[in-house]
Amino acid sequence: MPFQNYYYMKHIVICLAFILTLSACKKDIIESTDPGELTVEFDNIVGGQNLQLNTGTYTNSSGESFSIDLLQYYISNIQLVKADGNIYTVPQDSSYFLIKEQDVTTHKAKLKVPGGEYVGLRFVLGVDSLRNTMDITKRTGVLDPSGGMSNGMYWSWNSGYIFFKMEGLSTFAPADPNGNKKIRYHIGGFGGYSSPTINNIKTIQLDLKTAGTAKVSATKRTNIHLLVDIAKMFTGTKDISIAANSTVMFGAVSTDIANNYTSMFRHDHTEN
Amino acid sequence: MSLRQIFVLGILVLLIMACNKEVIEKIASFTGFQQAPHFPAPVYNITGNKPTQAGFELGRKLFYDTRLSRNNTISCGSCHIQSAAFTHHGHDLSHGIEDRLGTRNSQPIMNLAWNTHFFWDGGVFDLDLQPIAPIINHVEMDETVDRILDKLRVDKNYPALFEKAFGSQEINAVKFLKALSQFMLMCISDKSKYDSVQQQKALFTKEEAEGYTVFKTHCASCHKEPLFTDNSFRNNGLSPRSVPDEGRSLITLQASDQFRFRVPALRNLSYTAPYMHDGRFYTLEAVLDHYERGIRKSNTLDSILQQNSKTGITLTATERTQLLTFLKTLDDKQFITNPILAEQ
């Protein structure tokens, strides 16, 4: 009997171990698809330096020095690419972010995404054309077109969002009537409502494999840390000189700047 | 007369008075968005923001509230005066806060539910978004919507009015803009003599009918009935000013849109002088003179104004008188005197 008992016990132990293994497996699977918190951090820099509003001085590709006192841009329509090529699209209504350099709480776009490993990140720099024409009830929060002074990211006279806004000072800029040598870059243009016009909506695609994939799970926070080199807006496809273009708003030069600034974003690392 | 007779008579008089009062109230009361049978379907999504009495009244109060400007001096109604069909009568260019001068002539708040675009250059395509532009423009109201909302929140009446209109005391930009739209949507001009004729309730006089024929021959392709605009942007040959206003091309950046402006509706012309985007013509005679011999040729001049190697529209003196007579049938006295559209 004792022998028999031992034999019996052994079976039970093996069975239990098996069940435990199975259930552990199962738990793993559940964990990996449970939504987890993922942030995408937009860390603004200028060339090799961290961006310091007002106090930092930088030099562009044309050798012109400048300082920045305001920098903000829209990030929207975020998508994540899985290793198998499947794409997770963040629900559009919760996929609009206004990154403001002066407000550190806006530097991270906070997302809830299904658990899993992501090897690529896509987003729009700006606001898609559809949202530019939606009813105002669908344009609240950072998209509130009446945001006025607090955001100032909407052209009321030529209805549409300003995607990217950078202002500062440069001795290379011509003096305005008040004697200030300002630089002003307000880049927008969603393609026009009824007649076509410039479209500066840019989709950015970043590969996360080199600097670290994002492993999202319900039990931790993951942060994709991007470095955003603002100096790139002055160069890339076409050099923009402050002396020639100290103020660029809704005009042809804005497309050159938009073509340049698509290369601003670099994946630095992922905090898993 | 017996006491009983006096009593019956008294009751009768009272009844008649009550009737009368009812009639008066009916004319001046809110009836909701009603579309004239000869008008096309509105462009604005009415079902998405259907004017209610409370919403309309809130919108009207906002329209006439000077707190919409930075220093609380001017309201929408300052430059859009009802007796001038909601234009800035007598001003070629509108002046706003601290008498700062704009660059264009203020347009009527009239039949906006049928507008595809707003402003002379069509830079805005949704009535709900329209008020933001004059509010933040530094030569108009020089204010921000955020600051206006703060002013309204501390007012003793507005929170209750917002609740009545939209179900909660919260005051936000969406409700603010939707209420303004409700008021503006109700500024409908569809009760001119022309409209009565279209509905077989009246007849044109002989001269009006002849003028109507002249109109249909020479004007109707752009000033399309029954709204008297085809909502397009055209260059009608005005010579550019020393600082040229490039019109539609400011919005589209297309060279082909240079000096094009929105075709204005021809309703209520008797009340809306001066004319054109910069108010350069003070009389309709001057406008017709322009079309006859003032057209300036340019790359974007409308093809309708240069047919058979000849520019302009030539009318005989008789045709001109007939046309001007017809245009008077587009005046809508009820619209400019309707008490429910007035400041209360």
Q: What is the pLDDT of residues B24-50, one digit of tens each?
A: 444 568 999 998 999 999 999 999 999
Q: Answer whether residue A49 shows pLDDT above 60.
A: yes
Whether A44 contacts A51, CB under 8 Å: yes
Contact in structure between A120 and A81 (CB atoms under 8 Å): yes
**Interface contact flag, A146 B250, Cβ < 8 Å:** no
Residue B93: predicted pLDDT: 84
Measured between its terminal Cα atoms, the distance across chain B in Å is: 45
How close does chain B come to A239, measured CA to CA in Å? 22
Q: Name the one residue in this structure whose structure tokens are 């559009």.
A: A92
SS3 B321: helix
In three state form, how does the secondary structure of B205-232 look? CHHHHHHHHHHHHHCCCCCCCCCCCCCC
Amino acid at B97: I
- pLDDT confidence of residue B17: 56
A149-152 long-range contacts (CB < 8 A, ≥24 apart) are A149/B144, A149/B146, A149/B147, A150/B144, A150/B146, A151/A72, A151/A98
In angstroms, the Cα distances linking A138 to B34, B117, B174 are 27, 20, 9
Could you read off the pLDDT of A143-154 as tens digits, one per residue? Answer: 998 875 567 899
* Average pLDDT rounded to a whole number, residues B166-171: 96
Indicate the residue type of B119. F
> Which of B150, B253, B254, B256 to probe by mutation at the A interface, max A CB count within 10 Å?
B253
Contact residues on chain A for B128, CB-CB shorter than 8 A: 135-136
pLDDT band at B161 (very low <50, low <70, confident <90, very high): very high
Q: Are A268 and A227 in contact (CB under 8 A)?
A: yes
CA distance to A1, A11, A15, B103, per residue, from A7 (Å):
10, 6, 12, 98
| Residue A180 main-chain phi, psi, to 5 deg | -85, 140
| Cβ count near B8 (within 10 Å) | 12
Contacts of A140 in chain B (CB under 8 A): 172-174
Q: Is the ipTM of this complex over 0.85?
A: no
The answer to whether residues A191 and A201 touch, using CB atoms and an 8 Å cutoff, is yes
For the segment A31-58, the average pLDDT, to the nearest whole number, is 92
Given this model, what pLDDT does residue A243 score? 96
CA pair distance A150, A67, nearest whole angstrom = 21
pLDDT class of B138 with cuts at 50, 70, 90: confident
Phi, psi of A183 (to 5 degrees): -115, 140
What CA–CA distance (Å, rounded) separates B279 from B120? 12
CA distances from B118 to A108, A247, B244, B324, B328 (A): 37, 27, 20, 27, 25
Query: What is the reported pLDDT for B13?
Result: 58
State mean pLDDT over B171-190: 97
Residue type, B163: E
**Rounded to the nearest 5°, which phi and psi values hold at A162?**
-85, 125
Cβ A133–B173 below 8 Å, yes or no?
no
Query: Using CA atoms, how far apart are residues B23 and B27, in angstroms rounded to an integer?
Result: 6
pLDDT score of B4 more than 60: yes
Q: How confident is the model at residue A30 (pLDDT cuts 50, 70, 90)?
A: very low
**B248: which chain A residues are within 8 Å (Cβ-Cβ)?**
195
User: In chain A, how many H helices and how many E strands?
Assistant: 4, 16
Residue B32 is predicted with a pLDDT of: 94
Q: Kindly indicate the confidence band of residue B129, based on its pLDDT and cuts at 50, 70 and 90.
A: very high
Contacts with B, A 231-270, CB within 8 Å: 250-252
pLDDT at position B96 is 82
Q: Is pLDDT at B198 greater than 50 in this prediction?
A: yes
Mean per-residue pLDDT, B164-190: 97
Round to whole Å and give the CA distance between A144 and B149.
13
Mean predicted confidence (pLDDT) in B97-115? 90
Q: Side-chain half-sphere of B122: how many Cα atoms within 13 Å? A: 25
User: How confident is the model over A195-231, as pLDDT tens digits?
Assistant: 889 999 999 999 999 999 999 999 999 999 999 999 9
Q: To the nearest whole number, what is the mean pLDDT of chain A?
A: 89
Per cent of chain B over pLDDT 90 is 81
- In B79-205, DSSP assigns E strands to none
Residue B310's pLDDT band, with cuts at 50, 70 and 90, is: confident
Residue B335, amino acid: F
Q: Residue B226, preceding bond cis, omega within 30 degrees?
A: yes
Residue A242 has pLDDT above 90, yes or no: yes
Considering only the beta carbons, identify the residue of B117, B129, B136 that sits closest to A148: B136
Whether pLDDT at B327 is above 50: yes
**What digits encode the pLDDT tens for the residues B49-82?**
999 999 999 999 999 999 999 999 999 999 999 9
For residue B37, count CB atoms less than 10 angstroms from its CB and return exposed for 0-12, middle for 13-18, buried for 19 or more: exposed
What angle do the packed helices B317-328 and B206-218 form, to 10 degrees? 100
Q: Which residues pair with A79 in a beta bridge?
A: A89, A122
**Residue B118 pLDDT more than 60?**
yes
* Mean pLDDT across A105-124: 96
